[in-house]
Chains A and B, each alone.
Chain A
Amino acid sequence: MPVLDVDDLTMYYEIPFRGFVRAVDGISFSLEKGESLGIVGESGCGKSSLAITLMRLLPKNARIIKGRVILDGINIYELPEDRLRKEIRWKRISMVFQGAMNALHPIIKVGDQIVEAIMLHEDVSKEEAWKRAGDLLELVGIDRSRLDNYPFEFSGGMRQRAMIAMALALNPDVLLADEPTTALDVIVQAQILKLIKDLQRKFGISLILISHDVSVIAEMSDKVAVMYAGKFQEFGSAFDVFLNPLHPYTKGLLSGVPSVKGKPRRLKSIPGAPPNLLNPPKGCRFAPRCPFAKEKCFEEEPDLVEIEDKHYVRCHFAEELREVPWDVSE
């Protein structure tokens, strides 16, 4: 049985008098214990909205239109608020945020923040919690004496390590990492990713990693979902998606990534910008930017179809375009 089962999850933001922004539109996936799922896409494609929907941390104007998030057999959208808070949040599913700089409370001691997380969910003494917080810091490679420091006395990398320590405080089933390395330089980024991966393996945590950075996702994930305009466009194992991309959007994304081992080539971008999700295009949401779009693409929205074994693509012409590389004239 999967740890996390997301079924047709649909969350719109309501804009008074103007309608809905379709930020998360019919997302389905499931995650086994210890498995990692990478979600990749451009800014504004709904990645972070998906993250807060999975945590049920919605702003006031967010509406769940349909769908379920089932965590270990429990639909988190059917739980009352206080049980959600005590039994699910952080205990079963915790989160590492984007922007390592700002995710820890700036004027509360790092130790107190971790202790708070522990004591909210477990009936332990303050001393015991403090000791555990120290162990957690050491687990992520920070000296336990730094519990007494404030976040501003930490470097960016240390803050993210402390954040990871806090996220692991209650041995969660699922760790959601939303752009965990965005504000960090490449070397620290690599260290943090390695740390997440090691800890994930060590504790058998299921990981959902969200990033705009294709290389980060490729390195970290078993399964990959390519998200565009609120929907998964392609979903499959990391091998399938990155070595054999079938959706034109995935091909476009990958052609913007340099390869160290392959032949030198000119990087290409995807012209245009993601559609306004207040009034998404009628047919395929990628059609206005797709160089292969035909009339049908503008009329009828394709479904997410299993083209190969466990490899799903949302494109009318996935088969026809199988061997066609991404090519746009600059």
Chain B
Amino acid sequence: MASGLGRYLALRAVNSIIVIVAVVLLTLIMFGPLVDQQLKAQIEMEVRQQILKGGAFGKYKTPEEAKRAMQKAIEERIKALGLDKPWYIRIWGDLWRTLTFDLGTSWVIKSDSGSSKVVNILLERIPRTVLLFGTSTIILLVLQLLLGAKAAATPGSLFDRIVVLSGLLGYAFATWWVGMVLLYLFAYLIPIFPAGGMVSVPPPQDPLHYALDVAWHMFLPVLTILIVALGGWAYVTRNLMIGILTEDYITTSRAKGVPERKVIYYHALKMAAPPILTQVTLAIASIFTGGLLTEIVFSWPGMGLLYWDAILSLDIPVIMGDVYFTTILIVLANLTADLLYGIVDPRIRLGTGGATL
């Protein structure tokens, strides 16, 4: 029994690693030339300053001689750093360094604690993003199941129509636009929520107040994500459920005398769970992207806002690090969904049947 699930998970894990390596490799190829350029310019500047400042300028009789010496020094530095070798040789070293979390130092951005190490900057940001994204995803999942199942129980009813309509409407909205509208309404017109950030300044001291303060700051960003994603998800659940409710085994349940509530929320929803999880797996990346945009709108100091800051200041090591960690998070989220899939669907767990694979 465990071997089926184990093999399935092992396969998924191998897939995940391949995805991570491929993403890092692609980013390195894209940003590699830019980094080279930047590094070379930096070296040139440093050498020039060294020679000018160190009073060594007087040693050279002619400007040409000084220039040649400078050129030589630059080339030596470049050679020492290995920058003279072609990119397709150097990239493997970079790949290895990135994968082992040796992400170097940032060019501009510093962590809240003042560190310039990219890893430190990111480690500070990740929990904040996970908090926002995880909370939204869990609320999304629970609400979608309940709303979708309720709508499917009475197709064509007013409730059902509202779910369908809000699904299509929400899907058509842009995350950042909804965020701005909410900010305008509830932070400016009726200022009952903060306009941004994660905690008040200064932050409350005792843990309970701190948690409440964070929740208060989180309300509008989470609401934004819900408005955009919930309707669509509930709509998908509803359609799945309507199909399932016409199946023979549902008729069997009803014929057995199972109460209608249990038929819908247990027998039918149990069958809807695996495909819904598939849908969640596919949607995780897009919610995540939506989450990153939401962070920017609400100045939530997570990985999304970090992207924005890093792009504005062209801080390439930070961008690369952020891409790497974002990839890892998405892959981990997918892996979790896969694990849950294996748990809710015995056909996967036991490795037989497999009609739905």
Cα-based distance from A86 to B251 in the complex (angstroms) = 16
Query: B residues within 8 A CB of A163?
Result: 252
**B86 located at the interface, meaning its Cβ lies under 8 Å from any Cβ of chain A in the complex:** no
Query: B residues within 8 A CB of A324?
Result: none
Whether the Cβ atoms of B255 and A105 lie closer than 8 Å is no
Report the minimal beta-carbon distance from B352 to chain A, rounded to whole angstroms.
6
Whether the Cβ atoms of B255 and A152 lie closer than 8 Å is no
Interface centre among A94, A102, A106, A150 (most CB of B within 10 A): A106
Cα-based distance from A108 to B347 in the complex (angstroms) = 11
For window 120-137 of A, CB contacts with B under 8 Å fall at 120-121
**B interface with A by C-beta (< 8 Å):** 247-249, 251-259, 267, 270-271, 274, 344-347, 350, 352-353, 355
**A85 located at the interface, meaning its Cβ lies under 8 Å from any Cβ of chain B in the complex:** yes
Whether the Cβ atoms of A105 and B267 lie closer than 8 Å is yes
Query: Can you list 17 A-B contacts with CB-CB less than 8 angstroms, sorted by A residue number?
Result: A52-B251, A57-B254, A57-B255, A86-B257, A88-B257, A91-B257, A97-B252, A103-B252, A105-B253, A106-B249, A106-B271, A107-B274, A107-B346, A121-B257, A152-B346, A152-B353, A152-B355
**A249 located at the interface, meaning its Cβ lies under 8 Å from any Cβ of chain B in the complex:** no
Query: B residues within 8 A CB of A55?
Result: 255
Cα-based distance from A206 to B160 in the complex (angstroms) = 42
Whether the Cβ atoms of B252 and A107 lie closer than 8 Å is no
Contact of A85 among B247, B252, B257, B267 (CB under 8 A): B257
Number of A-B contacts (CB under 8 A): 76
Whether the Cβ atoms of A102 and B247 lie closer than 8 Å is yes
Supposing A102-B248, A107-B271 touch, asked if A153 and B353 sit within 8 A by C-beta, the answer is yes
Report the minimal beta-carbon distance from B277 to chain A, rounded to whole angstroms.
13
Supposing A152-B352, A152-B355, A153-B352 touch, asked if A105 and B252 sit within 8 A by C-beta, the answer is yes
Supposing A85-B257, A89-B255, A120-B256 touch, asked if A150 and B249 sit within 8 A by C-beta, the answer is no
Whether the Cβ atoms of A150 and B271 lie closer than 8 Å is no
Query: A residues within 8 A CB of B254?
Result: 57, 89
Report the minimal beta-carbon distance from B247 to chain A, rounded to whole angstroms.
6
Query: A residues within 8 A CB of B344?
Result: 107
Query: B residues within 8 A CB of A216?
Result: none
Query: A residues within 8 A CB of B355?
Result: 152
Q: Give the residue name and chain of the A residue nearest to B274 (CB).
A: A107
Contact of B347 among A102, A103, A107 (CB under 8 A): A107
Cα-based distance from A57 to B258 in the complex (angstroms) = 12
Report the minimal beta-carbon distance from B2 to chain A, rounded to whole angstroms.
15
Cα-based distance from A90 to B322 in the complex (angstroms) = 60
Report the minimal beta-carbon distance from A162 to chain B, rounded to whole angstroms.
11
Cα-based distance from A152 to B348 in the complex (angstroms) = 11
The 0/1 profile, CB within 8 Å of B marked 1, for residues 77-92 of chain A is: 0000000011011110
